[in-house]
Amino acid sequence: RPNMSSTYEDFVLHVTPEKFHIEACDAEDGSVSVLVIDRVSAEMTLAGRRDLPGSAETRPICGIMGTIRLLAGL
């Protein structure tokens, strides 16, 4: 279980058509969790690093400011 008082500075964003996966790269607390955000429902869950999709587009990010809901077709 990750230590909730930990802070991270380096992240990797893994993008798939269905979800965003955010992985902390500087997790010195041994955390193996990845934040998963569903692109449709905006539901956030924790998953294991072993569940990262190999086909995802990957890029470094500095953090997350928040989420917004986009309406398709408007």
CA distance 11 to 55: 18
What DSSP element (H or E) covers 58? strand 57-61
Q: Quick one: what percent of the chain has pLDDT higher than 70?
A: 80
* pLDDT, tens only, 16-45: 999 999 998 876 666 678 999 998 888 999
Is 2's pLDDT higher than 70? no
